[in-house]
Each structure stands twice: as structure tokens, then as C-alpha cells.
């Protein structure tokens, strides 16, 4: 799951160098720095990939503090 | 000469929205919102001798002195200095619902179009309808209910990806690329939820065109309807996000002239005048891969980043420089001082001082606001709005790369 999320982040941010740079339990906000539109595209791609639906209006940015916390959040959807 | 007080707010669209139409999804992020609140600092570029600048966060004195020294004429005033500015003219970034109240509050002069008119002409629905009115084939279609959205959306998908645009979308938001039926259906469900809360559907759907160059045309429209062209700016974008502006050269303008572009802009001016608008206008346009011009991507009946770069360029041109406006989106740990950063930039010989250097910082608080607000040692977002000033024999991209390296060595993480 973490690897897939990494792939989506690389695709949405258009930064191939992140594939190498993102290691361990990386922080999605701090390490990737997606802008607002990229963030929406990221969520939409994640929804598509993991067949979940995320509530945009209620989404808490703290879920992106680490890739593990985001995976945990997805498992609870 | 009459003095002006310059003030403004860079998220005008948020004030123009009336809240009765459905929104595209957004994720509310406090740090970016904080940064946008600090962008009014860069309106100093509009200043003429004796003008005042009033910003949400007071510009540091040393930064004001530096900008004065390199040739920008303005004096910062605090909101409580009412006696000093009374009787001046208001020079604003955009006409907002509170513009009239600001005039009264500070006893300022100024004649502005009605907010109703400003809302109308800034809407993408207005610019879409304008295409037909001036005899051009529209690229977008307005949809006003979910069935229409799905019908037009599915038709567009047969040819390729398309964009859903909000009538009052801001740069980097308010657009969404639809790349398949699944995303379209997802959006339908999202809008259905908002409809249940009483919101109406109003979007513009446009095929995703293969663009080569984004550019903008800046002009002033006076009350009599005369158009005074100021500049053409090439827009640097990353995806749908704004990255910078650079003044177009004479060849590019000649190409636009050959394609009858400026006549279309005159017609835009004529229609805006008819609608009751006067003031600053920035029309975003683009050139497609096949050299076809799309003259109206959107109409911004306000000032814009293109205007900012135009005013910087006007100031530095007599010194032999051209200007590329851009920004770095950065992350840093803990607290940061703009004064320290500024001094390091100076020590490295990068800070523009009329004789040497090429980085002209345009804002201070955009870098520091999030560390100031939170005081925590965690990572914060900031932005460095700068003009890269270059001479004819210099490549601005090379200078920008050097500036980016400087920021990385300073300990910043670069996001754009």
C-alpha cells in the first residue's frame, strides 16, 4: 500500500526524483509539498486505486503526517 | 499630484463568490491560506511618489527602506494612521464587497464600478457567453444541472479529457481535470450532496486543449470605454498552477497582432464597458500546439500577477533590466527570520541593489507567516515572491537556478 501511495505521489507531483527520496515512514505534506489542486488529484487517484471514498469536506490534514497514518486512515474508510 | 493609498486582497474570487453554487472539491489548508493573506505586500510596485501602502501585516522597516533605495516610491502606513491618508485616492487590487466601506472608513476618494458588475464580468460564465457575442466559437459549455453535466461530460470524454471549471475559480483551484467516467461519476456524487444542501449547479466544461503557451494581456479600461494596453505577459505554469510571469518580446506581440488578437481584446473592453465595468483588466489567453489562439481563457477584471510584473519591469527597464516574476514554495523547520535571509542574500551578492545582484524580493511575510503564527519547531510552509532581474545577455532561468540553490543551502526545502 505504501509503495502504491508513493507511486501516486510521484505521478501527481510530476517529481520522479521522489521515488528515491521518499523513504521509510515519510511525511506526505512536508516531503512532497503538493499544491491544493495536486492534493485533490492525489485523493481522487487514491480513491480510484483503493476503491474508497474520502469526504473532502471532513478530511483532516493530520492524516498526511506520515504515510503509515494515511494507510491507517484508508483502512478505516 | 494626488496621492493614493494602495491596498488589496489577493483572494478576490473568494469574496466574489456568493455561495449559492456548488463547489469543486477543495482541501482546506491553513498554511497556504495564511500565505495568501500576506501577498498584498507586493502591491508596493504600484506606488508613485508620495503614495501610501497599507498591508494586512506591516512591512518590516528595513525592507521598506531597501525597496525605496532601489527605486520604488511608497511609504507604509498602519491602519490607525487615518489622518495621514484621509483625502487620498484608493488604488486597489480588486473591487470587493467592502470597497465602498473602505472609502468611507478612511475618508478616501475613488470611483469604482458596482460590486454586482464586478462579480458578473469576473465570472467564467460571462466570458464563455462573451465568445458568441463577439463572433467567436466558444470552447466551453455552461451546465446548470446534473443531467446536463453528465450528458455534456460524457460527450466530451468521447474525444478525451476535459476540465470542469467553477464560474469564480482561483488560480490553482476551481479547475478539475476529468480523465474518465469514474472521476465524472465521483464528481456527480460530490455535487449531489451539495445540491441536497440547496446549492445550484453552475460549471463550465471545456475540452482539455493541447496548449503551447499561456499568456495574459493587461489593460486599463477608463470610464469612457477607452482601452489602454499595458503589456503582454507570458505565463509560466506548472500543471494548472501559476509559477510566474515574464514580459513578452516584440516578436511575440507581432505574432498576436498578425492573428487579430488585439482587436478581440478591444471587443472585450467594449463589452466590459457596456456591462458597466471600468478599471484594471487582465485577460488570460493561450496558444495551442497548432498555433491557434484561444483569446479568452478567463477575464480577470482586477489587477493580477501580470500587472505586478509589468510594474516591476517599468521600474527596472531604465536601469537596463528586464523582469521575471516568480515564487518559490518552500518548507523550513521551526522559526525563520526574513531579516536574516535578506542579509544572507545580500552577503552572497544575489540581492538586487541597482549595481549588482538580481533577486528583488517582493514580499517578506509570505516566507515567515506560518512560523510566526504557530511558533512550533515543526516544518512550515512559506513562499518567496521575487522578481529575477536580468540583462539582455543573461538567461533568467540560469539566475533562478542559482537562487534556488542558495535557498536549498540556506536549509529550505523547495516544493515547486
Mark whether B84 and B144 lie in a shared domain: no
pLDDT score recorded for residue B1: 57
Domain span holding position B197: 140-207
The CATH class that applies to domain A2-75 reads mainly alpha
User: Cα–Cα distance between B292 and A77 in angstroms, integer?
Assistant: 46
CB contact under 8 A, A35 and B26: no
Handedness of CA B170, B162, B284, B272 (dihedral sign): negative
Q: How confident is the model at residue A20 (pLDDT cuts 50, 70, 90)?
A: confident
Last residue of a domain, one of B180, B207, B234: B207
CB contact under 8 A, B331 and A43: no
Q: Which long-range contacts (CB under 8 A, 24 or more apart) does B209-213 make?
A: B209/B139, B209/B286, B209/B288, B209/B294, B210/B288, B210/B289, B210/B290, B211/B286, B211/B287, B211/B288, B211/B289, B211/B294, B212/B286, B212/B287, B212/B288, B212/B289, B212/B291, B213/B286, B213/B287
- Which residues of chain B register pLDDT less than 70? 1, 171-172, 375
pLDDT score recorded for residue B377: 72
pLDDT score recorded for residue B29: 78
Mark whether B67 and B166 lie in a shared domain: no
Q: Is B12 among the domain residues?
A: yes
pLDDT score recorded for residue B305: 95
Mark whether B181 and B97 lie in a shared domain: no
Q: Is B343 among the domain residues?
A: no
Mark whether B112 and B151 lie in a shared domain: no
**What are the grid coordinates assigned to B257, written together?**
497582432
Tell which of A35, A46, A73 to mutate to test the B interface (max B CBs under 10 Å): A35
User: Cα–Cα distance between B367 and B369 in angstroms, integer?
Assistant: 6
Shortest distance between the Cα of B26 and any Cα of chain A, in A, equals 7
Q: Is B183 among the domain residues?
A: yes
pLDDT score recorded for residue B172: 61
Q: Is B154 among the domain residues?
A: yes
pLDDT score recorded for residue B217: 98
CA atoms within 13 A on the CB side of A59: 21
CATH number at residue B155: 3.30.1490
Kindly report, residue by residue over A66-75, the tens digit of the pLDDT: 888 888 888 8
Which chain B residues have a beta carbon less than 8 Å from that of A33? Answer: 329, 331, 381, 413, 415-416
CA atoms within 13 A on the CB side of B198: 2
Give the residue extent of every domain in chain A.
Answer: 2-75
Q: Is B272 among the domain residues?
A: no
pLDDT score recorded for residue B213: 94
- Chain B residue with minimum CA distance to A32: B415
CB contact under 8 A, A37 and B25: no
Amino acid at each position: 500500500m505504501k509503495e502504491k501511495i508513493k507511486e501516486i505521489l510521484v505521478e501527481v507531483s510530476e517529481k520522479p526524483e521522489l521515488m528515491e527520496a521518499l523513504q521509510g515512514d515519510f511525511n506526505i505534506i512536508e516531503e512532497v509539498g503538493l499544491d491544493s489542486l495536486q492534493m485533490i488529484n492525489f485523493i481522487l487517484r487514491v480513491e480510484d486505486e483503493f476503491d474508497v471514498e474520502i469526504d473532502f469536506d471532513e478530511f483532516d490534514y493530520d492524516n498526511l503526517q506520515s504515510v503509515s497514518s494515511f494507510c491507517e486512515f484508508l483502512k478505516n474508510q | 499630484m494626488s496621492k493614493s493609498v494602495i491596498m488589496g486582497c489577493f483572494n478576490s474570487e473568494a469574496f466574489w463568490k456568493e455561495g449559492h453554487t456548488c463547489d469543486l472539491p477543495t482541501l482546506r489548508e491553513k498554511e497556504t491560506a495564511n500565505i495568501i493573506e500576506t501577498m498584498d505586500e507586493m502591491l508596493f510596485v504600484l506606488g508613485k511618489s508620495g503614495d501610501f501602502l497599507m498591508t494586512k501585516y506591516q512591512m518590516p522597516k528595513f525592507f521598506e527602506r531597501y525597496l525605496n533605495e532601489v527605486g520604488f516610491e511608497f511609504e507604509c502606513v498602519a491602519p490607525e494612521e487615518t489622518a495621514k491618508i484621509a483625502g487620498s485616492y484608493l488604488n486597489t487590487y480588486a473591487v470587493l464587497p467592502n470597497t465602498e466601506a473602505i472609502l468611507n472608513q478612511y475618508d478616501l476618494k475613488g470611483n469604482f464600478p458596482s460590486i454586482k458588475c464586478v462579480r458578473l464580468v469576473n465570472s467564467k460564465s460571462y466570458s464563455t457567453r462573451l465568445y458568441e457575442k463577439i463572433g467567436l466559437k466558444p470552447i466551453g459549455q455552461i451546465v446548470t444541472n446534473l443531467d446536463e453535466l453528465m450528458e455534456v461530460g460524457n460527450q466530451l470524454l468521447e474525444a478525451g479529457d476535459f476540465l470542469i471549471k467553477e464560474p469564480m475559480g482561483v488560480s490553482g483551484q476551481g479547475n478539475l481535470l476529468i480523465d474518465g467516467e469514474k472521476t465524472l461519476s465521483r464528481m456527480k456524487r460530490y455535487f449531489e450532496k451539495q445540491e441536497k444542501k440547496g446549492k445550484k449547479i453552475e460549471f463550465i466544461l471545456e475540452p482539455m486543449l493541447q496548449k503551447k503557451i499561456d499568456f495574459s494581456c493587461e489593460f486599463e479600461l477608463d470610464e469612457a470605454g477607452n482601452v489602454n494596453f499595458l503589456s503582454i505577459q507570458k505565463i509560466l505554469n506548472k500543471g494548472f498552477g501559476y509559477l510566474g510571469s515574464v514580459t513578452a518580446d516584440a516578436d511575440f506581440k507581432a505574432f498576436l497582432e498578425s492573428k487579430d488578437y488585439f482587436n478581440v481584446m478591444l471587443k472585450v473592453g467594449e463589452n466590459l464597458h457596456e456591462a458597466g465595468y471600468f478599471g484594471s483588466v487582465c485577460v488570460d489567453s493561450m496558444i495551442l500546439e497548432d498555433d491557434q489562439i484561444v483569446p479568452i481563457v478567463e477575464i480577470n477584471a482586477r489587477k493580477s500577477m501580470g500587472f505586478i510584473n509589468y510594474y516591476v519591469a517599468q521600474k527596472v527597464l531604465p536601469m537596463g533590466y528586464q523582469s521575471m516574476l516568480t515564487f518559490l514554495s518552500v518548507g523550513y523547520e521551526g522559526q525563520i527570520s526574513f531579516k536574516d535571509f535578506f542579509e544572507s542574500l545580500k552577503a552572497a551578492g544575489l540581492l538586487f541593489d541597482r549595481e549588482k545582484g538580481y533577486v528583488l524580493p517582493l514580499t517578506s511575510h509570505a516566507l515567515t507567516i506560518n512560523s510566526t503564527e504557530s511558533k512550533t519547531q515543526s516544518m512550515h510552509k512559506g513562499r518567496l515572491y521575487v522578481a529575477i532581474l536580468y540583462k539582455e545577455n543573461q538567461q533568467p532561468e540560469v539566475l533562478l537556478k542559482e537562487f534556488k540553490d542558495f535557498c536549498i543551502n540556506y536549509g529550505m526545502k523547495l516544493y515547486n
